[in-house]
Structure 1
Amino acid sequence: MLKPMIAMGLALCLALPAAAQDADDDDDLPAGLLAGPNKRDLPEIILSVGEPLGEPWVLKSGGYYEVEITSDGSGEIALAGAAFLRAIWIDEIVIEGLEIRPLGLDSLEFDEAGTMEIGFVAIKPGSYELAVPNGGETQRLQIVIE
């Protein structure tokens, strides 16, 4: 009884590498959700005192997105949106080549001119916004996750 089980296990182990190699040969399949072909670039957000943030976004739940947020240095400018930032999973934030992988965010603030890039997966469907605190209606970016 033991010998047939060992023989079956050995046969299975020998067959697995060939099956795995066949799967690797299929170049049409992306490597995963965070693979380059799955990423969608969003329009850059420019932070400038009194200027609008941009056109509304419509995102798909489960989609991977990247956005650059740039401050022109015209003043200390924050960008708040706790509800939106909790409805996404942040893969990384890149600032001057430094990668940050946070567990979550409440807001961002630029004390001087600079750019950060945020890669994230949209998770929770709903309507959200990113806004400059006390910035008025034009300094709000409406976001819908479908």
Structure 2
Amino acid sequence: MKKAILIGLMALALPMSAMADNDDDDAKAGSKAGLAGLLSKGNREKLPKLTLSAGQPVSKEALKLKSGKYYTMEIKADGSQELALEGAGFFRAIWVNEIVIEGIEIRPLGVDSLEFDEAGEAEISFIAIKPGSYYLKVPGSKGDSQQVSITIE
């Protein structure tokens, strides 16, 4: 009985070892997602910094993201006014790895908005998941410059 279980486990392990060999070949061939998969360095991209400042645009341009790609987004507030960025739809379309504020790493289950009462910086690292059109905007604002349009392809 023990031999049958051992033979069965070995049979299951063979296809797994073959897949591991393929992962090595993909990494050597320059595949973007290596052994670490979606979190690998080859799959990461840093987005342009977002700025929170009274009367200033949040971003210089709209953001175009690709589903399955790992991104880092830095948000900087200058403290000129208490400002926030909201975008529940966007936050539901991504998987947030962490939010780093003054060296403190936060791994949330969900996010609706980030509010800055004073000057500071936050960095969000995430994987874009759900294709669609989204935004991050200053709550209560009406101008296009007070938001950033985000498209996930």
Which residue of the other structure, out of 118, 125, 145, is the alignment partner of 1:138? 145
Q: CA offsets, 1:22-56, max 9 Å, x none?
A: 56865535222112221111000011011111110
- Cα–Cα, structure 1 residues 4 and 120, in superposed 2: closer, same or farther, change >3 Å? closer
Within the alignment, does 1:102 sit opposite 2:108 as a pair?
yes
- Name the CA shift for 1:20/1:76 in 2 (closer, same or farther; >3 Å): same
SS in 1 for 2:37: coil
SS at match of 1:33: helix
Query: What SS does the corresponding residue of 2:39 show, helix, strand or coil?
Result: coil
Most deviating of 52-61 and 27-36 = 27-36
Q: Which residue of 2 aligns with 1:43?
A: 48
1:12: Cα distance to partner?
6.3
Structure of higher CA gyration radius: 1
Q: 1:35 to 1:49 in 2, by over 3 A?
A: same
Q: Compared with structure 1, are the counterparts of its residues 75 and 3 closer, same or farther at alpha carbon in structure 2 (3 Å cutoff)?
A: closer
Aligned length: 145
**1:86-101 equivalences in 2 (<5 Å):** 86-101=92-107
Q: Does the alignment pair 1:77 with 2:90?
A: no
Identity across aligned pairs (percent)? 56
TM-score of the two chains, using structure 2 as the length reference? 0.80
Q: d(CA) in 2 for partners of 1:14 and 1:86? A: 37
Go from structure 1 to structure 2 and tell me whether the alpha carbon gap of 1:4 and 1:115 turns closer, same or farther (over 3 Å shift): closer
TM-score under structure 1 length normalisation? 0.83
Structure 1 unaligned residues grouped into runs of 5+: none
Aligned in 2, Cα 1:19/1:113: closer, same or farther, shift over 3 Å? same
Unaligned stretches of 5+ residues in structure 2: none
